[in-house]
Structure 1
């Protein structure tokens, strides 16, 4: 069943979210939530419609759907001028705020939107950096508010990080999670913590890659090859914690000890949870307990399934060469 969706802000994030929901059959109001002259709004609306249509056409070229459906999917998105925002917000089941990462701007937009929304509607920020409770103080109904961090490009990346605040009603988180699952997304819930999950991991990896170029460890070109054909290759199939369990938490611990001493930097040291897991015998597949639980699992079949997926990635990269007879 389709429900009306609203996106505050007609920029890149709002457009991406609008495409996702329109693709799944939901009507979407893409709201330009700031006053503009008519000419400026017309230009913005034209640009938004063009980008949405162009993106849908590109998706059809990827084989995601028949190109004949582009116009009908795009028609589900309405570009709404600020003066008419009230009507769109009053009927929306979920409102996603996509303003710039400036707390004051977000608080003002969220408070204005909440005043125009229905009492049961869900209000979600899409911030990648600001904590939920640093924004919820501006709201009269914080129980209906949480963060939903989408990863760009939103129309392709499945993950959405949900982060409820101290006052968020758990039923609201469950409702939004169910809605996202219904449109093919993979929602995960995390505590309100700076950087949430993926941005926090990304920051470490990206900065470390830049640091290695800076230190002359490798050229940018060779480092990119190493990431694409090694790091990203494995982790396109295996999760980070899953990979710890594959190799063994004890291996990670001792490797981390060596690296932190060799590079004279504690940022490479293993966290306390790795040592605690070792002491409890939770080192991974070898003991059938690690970060994940492998009790009762056919480990050989599980390994083969993951390796089959890696073989598929090898083929996708054009690197699966035939054997020499």
Structure 2
């Protein structure tokens, strides 16, 4: 197996695939792009180079990015040509199992047997796609988010046959591309979309019940708990707020909404054991050092103040003007 990814192919040159290709090329990885036809791929390459220049001119890409992307991004006449001799292949075609199966079979027929193959599926488990892959030990989900050039998080999902040795190789590639990665289990929707869709579902329930308008729900989400999320996830936020407080609030929810919003078993177990988060020195994150509360408050205050300044600088989004 390869130890470092130096060359890659991205199959599917649309909005997601193109953004992934830009991101990898900007990191110094030589990337070959392929789509449904040579003409479509050539047009996509022109668009991606034009976009890169626009992003750099706007200060969204670092200086020199366009030159680096231009040097490292190329296109192939076919999928087979694109994947023939590369270290890593990212499949980024539409979220339809039959289409992904067909493309993955073509990739496997032409790629090196040691090439690592990733799929950018948003919700399909590896086990649904792996039957189309020869040497499935080199296959996994590498799920970028939209827009790929700017969203840093990537979900990694190994299948039953995936060789664990593949994971650090892919993580290293993502690190070089300035991405954060997290490995999650092979279940439908993984973590990102399971959480995102649950939030959207509950938001719809609130609007349907006449509790708030869609616009007001969005204001609350982005200006309250959503304001914290670039810096802390839900477990860290709960540990800082106090797990005993969360448990008490869940009692209100359970009384009002029943089992659907009952206290989670993990939270209840921690509270029953006297683990209330930072203030008790133990919580979801495990043990906290005695001075952790002061450090977190200092970081939190600085982060939230900077976020407020950034939003003030950017001004309202077009939806809020």
After TM superposition, the score normalised by the length of structure 2 is 0.89
CA contact (8 A) 1:133 1:166 kept: yes
Distance 1:29 1:188, change over 3 A: same
CA contact (8 A) 2:49 2:69 kept: no
- Return the offset for 1:199: 0.6
Runs of 5+ consecutive residues of structure 1 not aligned to the other structure: 320-325
Aligned match for 1:80, one of 71, 76, 82? 76
Aligned match for 1:248, one of 232, 242, 254? 242
Please name the residue that 1:95 is paired with: 89
- Return the offset for 1:124: 0.6
Distance 1:42 1:122, change over 3 A: same
- Secondary structure, counterpart of 1:267 in structure 2: helix
Aligned match for 1:144, one of 135, 138, 144? 138
How far does the alpha carbon of each residue in 1:102-146 deviate from its partner, in whole angstroms, 9 at most, with x for none? 112212211220121112210011101110011112222010000
Report 1:102-181 matches (<5 A).
102-181=96-175
Distance 1:2 1:273, change over 3 A: closer
Please name the residue that 2:7 is paired with: 4
After TM superposition, the score normalised by the length of structure 1 is 0.88
Determine whether 1:30 maps to 2:23: no
How far does the alpha carbon of each residue in 1:254-293 deviate from its partner, in whole angstroms, 9 at most, with x for none? 212211321x343222221111112222221122111113
Please name the residue that 1:61 is paired with: 58
Please name the residue that 1:239 is paired with: 233
Aligned residues: 309
Runs of 5+ consecutive residues of structure 2 not aligned to the other structure: 314-321
Aligned match for 2:42, one of 36, 42, 45? 45
CA distance in 2, matches of 1:13, 1:283: 41
CA distance in 1, matches of 2:306, 2:6: 37
Determine whether 1:271 maps to 2:264: yes
Please name the residue that 2:317 is paired with: none
How far does the alpha carbon of each residue in 1:14-48 deviate from its partner, in whole angstroms, 9 at most, with x for none? 1010010111111111111x4x4xxxx42552244
CA distance in 2, matches of 1:102, 1:208: 26
CA contact (8 A) 1:2 1:27 kept: no
How far does the alpha carbon of each residue in 1:52-75 deviate from its partner, in whole angstroms, 9 at most, with x for none? 422442244135322x65245234
Please name the residue that 1:292 is paired with: 285
CA distance in 1, matches of 2:5, 2:172: 13
- Return the offset for 1:207: 1.8
